[in-house]
Structure 1
């Protein structure tokens, strides 16, 4: 574990110390693309068209408009790479007065904690002093303020099975590596979502204005000496640029007839295309420089709006075949995901499981999220949800 965390620090340090001047890079602020909520993670992130709860602030802010309670709060804890890295998310959303829109706020933290910082391990006389090893963290933070509202379209204003909504995020990003480096950035996301009968359509435009993350560095004399010995350039400031990222998707819900008419079930399938604009990305199935396209497929079976089984396929990659010594053959890899969900009255818990590199040496990741609906006594939302508790309201997922 000591060795793995030290390697992780080296990777973070290498990225942070590279000198740029508003330089465009791939994978900038990539922690903002990991995903939140057990439902979304179980469906491999295929959410842009169907997400309709507090987690929509991340997947598609327009989906916040589907919230049917006075106040909704959600939280998720997940662990990556056999618990080396931890990801935490908490969010809240509530409709504004007269249903003029929905306001949301979210906080995200992704970090590797307790990294042994060994720069002072070896003393000037060559002796080893483990008391000089100090734990540090490499942590990324994000705060999102979100707003969503419905759009009134005259042609469909009298139809209950047709709706269109739009939304947006203002996000602030903070990143830190020990006391050596920290960064601040800000950006804007815009989203739209439509429902037509059993069909769902969605689009999310992330970093639509291009997000700049400004890094500043502060090194001790000892750190400067060590970095100089290893050929690292000592910098004081740098800038990373997030180019826009587009997620387009569609889904279809199929009702399933059961013998008991009081109990209902459905099967939802959704396909998303995650489109980056920062150039060709190694391994992506579709590369159209400067665009790279990553497909995601998710499915959900719901029973009586209380029990859910989910699955998905994502992270498709074309990589060299390890069995081919000529390094000329490639094969397709993918990341499967599975999950379960339970909803009891106003409380929901969702679990998801995935495995990176499942075809070779798998690294397992687990995701657990909670969601709570809160209604004021006597409110329209509270009465409606109480009446639908034994039914199958499709907008309450």
Structure 2
């Protein structure tokens, strides 16, 4: 194995990522926060902005925390890219009083045990495998949520304060801060939802170890020695949703929701302009006696250019099931994190617990 080949993993995780930060204003910063949480929501293709009403509302729409009746916790784990990347999530929520609620969540998206071969060959040209070490790249998000009931019947609103921590081994690390706001309105069987993410733009400020960075840059010939810029900005995003609940014979409940996810930049979303781009998402959930749930959804509609120059619309289908018994809910989703033609399916599991179940 050549020396250059030894650095493939390090370069992919350090140089490629670091150079991606060289733009001070990026359209795709902090993308790990767009994956989503909770297998129940992912099974509906993330179309839950209007109907979310449990501990996971802190992520989807903090206004939904007002519908949390007792203390709840939620955890989720997923593997991506042939188990290379690990995605973990945990959350807690509780009502403060009859008019307000609080929530907290943490997300970690990581690639661990990456081989660092920068010291594999010493100054005399000798190979020493004992000099190989490992490092991790990890993206963290800590979210503090607050929700409040309005004097207008059925209307609630809330907000998030987000703290972002991103680490690339000993090479670089960053801190970021951002804010979200959301609202929900419920009238009868209809629900409306509004979620604005990164409303003030979210700033990440990077600190780069110049000595460590130079070691990696110098390990491969013809690499640019300039350090990347140290600031990146996440642009605002807007989600609007409408949901409707249908009840059949008391025990059969169908919830349908349609969301529109918008970004204020031109992308290959199915609706795209120089000012805003948008893609719809549709989610369905069938529940029987609040015990068994079946879910399906489709979203992420993208215009993908083919080899002949024509455009083809790709989309992301998801399915899921769930079981709930005495305040404990176990959910599963099979998600396509690629597109309908290049399906990269992932198995998502999540657990939600109503803590009041154990105090009765």
TM-score by length of 2: 0.91
State the Cα deviation string for residues 231-255 of structure 1 (Å, max 9, x = none): 3243275100111111111111111
Give the whole-Å Cα distance in 1 for the aligned partners of 2:139 and 2:199.
Answer: 21
Are residues 1:217 and 2:208 paired? Answer: yes
SS in 1 for 2:210: coil
Give the whole-Å Cα distance in 1 for the aligned partners of 2:285 and 2:11.
Answer: 38
Contact 1:172 1:184 in 2 (8 A): yes
Give the whole-Å Cα distance in 2 for the aligned partners of 1:83 and 1:179.
Answer: 23
1:46 aligned residue:
47
2:106 aligned residue:
107
Are residues 1:61 and 2:52 paired? Answer: no
Change in 2 beyond 3 A, CA 1:127/1:361: farther
Task: List aligned pairs for 1:165-176, cutoff 5 A.
Answer: 165-176=156-167
SS in 2 for 1:353: strand
Q: CA deviation at 1:319?
A: 1.3
Give the whole-Å Cα distance in 2 for the aligned partners of 1:236 and 1:289.
Answer: 27
Give the whole-Å Cα distance in 2 for the aligned partners of 1:231 and 1:299.
Answer: 50
State the Cα deviation string for residues 176-210 of structure 1 (Å, max 9, x = none): 10110000011110000111111111000111111
1:266 aligned residue:
253
Q: CA deviation at 1:358?
A: 5.3
2:25 aligned residue:
24
Contact 2:118 2:216 in 1 (8 A): no
Change in 2 beyond 3 A, CA 1:136/1:73: same
Q: CA deviation at 1:10?
A: 1.1
1:329 to 290, 310, 335: 310
Contact 2:21 2:232 in 1 (8 A): no
SS in 2 for 1:114: strand
Are residues 1:280 and 2:266 paired? Answer: yes
Give the whole-Å Cα distance in 2 for the aligned partners of 1:251 and 1:141.
Answer: 31
Task: List aligned pairs for 1:306-321, cutoff 5 A.
Answer: 306-321=291-306
Give the whole-Å Cα distance in 2 for the aligned partners of 1:211 and 1:25.
Answer: 11
1:386 aligned residue:
none
1:303 to 268, 273, 288: 288
Unaligned ranges ≥5, structure 2? none
State the Cα deviation string for residues 362-384 of structure 1 (Å, max 9, x = none): 32211111111122899xxx7xx
State the Cα deviation string for residues 36-86 of structure 1 (Å, max 9, x = none): 1011111111110001001001110001111122x1111111111221111
Change in 2 beyond 3 A, CA 1:331/1:34: same
User: How many residue pairs get matched?
Assistant: 355
Give the whole-Å Cα distance in 1 for the aligned partners of 2:35 and 2:160.
Answer: 17
1:247 to 223, 239, 243: 239
2:346 aligned residue:
365
2:136 aligned residue:
137
Task: List aligned pairs for 1:128-167, cutoff 5 A.
Answer: 128-153=127-152, 157=153, 163-167=154-158
SS in 2 for 1:223: helix
1:289 aligned residue:
274
Q: CA deviation at 1:11?
A: 5.3
Of 187-196 and 78-87, the range deviating more from structure 2: 78-87
SS in 2 for 1:290: coil
SS in 2 for 1:268: strand
2:185 aligned residue:
194
State the Cα deviation string for residues 81-138 of structure 1 (Å, max 9, x = none): 22111111111011113x1300111111001111112222334444443332222111
Are residues 1:14 and 2:16 paired? Answer: yes
Contact 1:18 1:233 in 2 (8 A): no
Change in 2 beyond 3 A, CA 1:123/1:310: same
1:185 aligned residue:
176
Give the whole-Å Cα distance in 1 for the aligned partners of 2:148 and 2:182.
Answer: 11
Contact 1:216 1:237 in 2 (8 A): no
Change in 2 beyond 3 A, CA 1:139/1:268: same
Unaligned ranges ≥5, structure 1? 158-162, 258-262, 383-397
SS in 2 for 1:41: helix
Are residues 1:77 and 2:77 paired? Answer: yes
State the Cα deviation string for residues 307-343 of structure 1 (Å, max 9, x = none): 100011122221133xx5xx31221111111111100
Give the whole-Å Cα distance in 1 for the aligned partners of 2:276 and 2:13.
Answer: 26
State the Cα deviation string for residues 283-321 of structure 1 (Å, max 9, x = none): 311112131112111110011111100011122221133
For the aligned residue pairs, the C-alpha RMSD in angstroms reads 2.4
SS in 1 for 2:63: helix
